[in-house]
Structure 1
Amino acid sequence: MSKNSLSQRKAAAYLGISPSTLRAYVRAGVSPPYIELPGVRRFALSDLQIWLASRTVEGAQ
């Protein structure tokens, strides 16, 4: 697997959420894209960055 892919636990830490919250996002279909193999779910760092950027809200001025 790519050096730029993270385990679900590390992806959750990168996003600042718990692994259980990330699992809930996956179940709800609102998570960042991921690769799933038997027993393994990996998240590309670039996909996490894009997913976060798409949810960035600019503050009121």
Structure 2
Amino acid sequence: MANVKHNLKPKETAEYLGLSPSTMAKWWSVGGDPRFYKLGGCIRYATDDLDTFLATKKHSNTAQEGGDE
């Protein structure tokens, strides 16, 4: 069973990632990462999925491709 405190609302997710809520809205409307759940019409993000998403955006220098959506 899911632990509710680890399923964040879009605004909480934006704060967790250091992004604006409008950026989160754009991402979930077009699809792709980070992954989310839609429960009864409500969008929720699991912190484990967010941590995985952040790990894929990690770079050691600015010459590396990717990372920006």
TM over 0.5: yes
The whole-number CA distance in structure 2 between the counterparts of 1:58 and 1:24 is: 27
Q: How high is the TM-score relative to the length of structure 2?
A: 0.75
Q: Given residue 17 of structure 2, which amino acid in structure 1 is its aligned partner?
A: L
Report how many residues are paired.
60
Structure with larger RCO (C-alpha < 8 A, sep 6+): 1
Query: Identity over aligned residues, as a percent?
Result: 33
Q: How high is the TM-score relative to the length of structure 1?
A: 0.83
Unaligned ranges ≥5, structure 2: 63-69
Q: Given residue 49 of structure 2, which amino acid in structure 1 is its aligned partner?
A: D
- Kindly report the root-mean-square deviation, in angstroms, between the aligned alpha carbons of the 2 structures: 1.5
Give the ranges of 4+ consecutive aligned residues of structure 1 lying more than 2 Å apart after TM superposition. none
